[in-house]
Amino acid sequence: MDKKWLSKLPLPEITNITPIGGGDVNVAYHVETAKQDYFLLVQADQPASFYAGEVAGLKAFQQADITAPHVIAHGQIYGDAYLVLDFLPQGSGSQADLGHLVAQLHQVQSPTERFGFSQPYAGTSVSFANAWSDSWTQSFVNQRLDVLDASLLKKQLWAEGQRTQFLTARANIIETLAHHHSQPVLLHGDLWSGNFIFLQDGRPALIDPAAWYGDREFDVGITTVFGGFTSDFYRGYVSQLPLDDGFDQRQHFYRLYYLMVHLDKFGITYQRAVQIELNAINQQSQ
């Protein structure tokens, strides 16, 4: 890391900086100072607004008493967006407690009583406007699935015949959601196993949110895609917030979404996984 760049950070004298994993999007560092450690995220050649959504999400988590990193500073240095968070040393803990924490998150109602968020989601592959909507179908289908569909078409990432099957699945999703009562609650938005940790005192914490207000089944469905959430997590969750009848079928809507995101970002290796979800959704209507 360039010393001149580091000197512009609004932090006390830095004693050490170490590159660490920052997910698929960011370059990340563990920054040490004499008094405190920090977590630094950097996105090259992006405006300061790149992190506006994450900042807003973390602040919403803090207001809801959800254990998560606190925002220390954010902005732009020499054309690079940056975000400084407090550093959370890790330990081990209970997945049942993690389930309780996610259930607590999902009890935070939208301040507007609408679906969406105050900031857009800014990604390096695809972005979402997060415009406020009275309809979960409009928010999820029109503002998420349709945006992904357009991007996959542009990048020619649909396998042969998949676009037609997607349009059938889209119609089936709209029909099913018309009979399901959705409430806008605070979502993590990217709830895979890389986005939770346990602190040294055993408490679970949520990190790297792509927050918005939507149907809680969105988050729960995403947890099932790549694993890492044990049966204790789901028991802990439903002990606080039981899942509605039909979730086993509707979870495929959110699995499809998440795998379309990965197809858009990482390419054709995700075509088969997307196909499995399309088949699951379309077979439900037969």
For residue 57, the 8-state DSSP code is: H
pLDDT digits (tens, 9 = 90+) for 177-227: 999 999 999 999 999 999 999 999 999 999 999 999 999 999 999 999 999
Residues near 279 by Cβ (< 8 Å), separated by ≥ 6? 165
- Give me the mean pLDDT over the 95-112 stretch: 98
| pLDDT exceeds 70 at position 236 | yes
- CATH no. for 95-284: 3.90.1200.10
Percentage of residues of the chain with pLDDT beyond 90: 92
pLDDT of residue 285: 72
Q: What value does the mean pLDDT of the chain take? A: 95
Identify whether 190 is a catalytic site residue.
Answer: yes
What pLDDT does 238 receive? 98
Confidence (pTM): 0.94
Residue 125: pLDDT band (50, 70, 90) is confident
For the chain, which residues make up each domain, given as ranges? 3-86, 95-284
* DSSP letter for each residue of 256-280: HHHHHHHHHHH-GGGHHHHHHHHHH
The pLDDT score that the predictor gives to residue 3 is 86
Kindly name the residue from 86, 146, 190, 248 that is annotated as catalytic.
190
Q: Has domain 3-86 been given CATH number 3.40.1520.20?
A: no
**What is the per-residue DSSP string for 61-120?**
HHHTT---PPEEEEEEETTEEEEEEE---B----HHHHHHHHHHHTT-B-TTSSBB-SS-
State the DSSP code for 285: T
